[in-house]
Amino acid sequence: MQTDLDGAVNELKNTEEHAKTASTDGSCLIEKLPQEQEGTLQVERLHKGLKQQIKELQICLEEIHELETENELEQDRH
pLDDT digits (tens, 9 = 90+) for 43-76: 999 999 999 999 999 999 999 999 999 998 888 8
Cα three-residue angle 41-43-46, rounded to 5 degrees: 110
Would you give the end-to-end CA distance of the chain in angstroms?
A: 109
Q: The whole model's pTM is what?
A: 0.59
In percent, how much of the chain has pLDDT > 70? Answer: 99
pLDDT at 2: 84
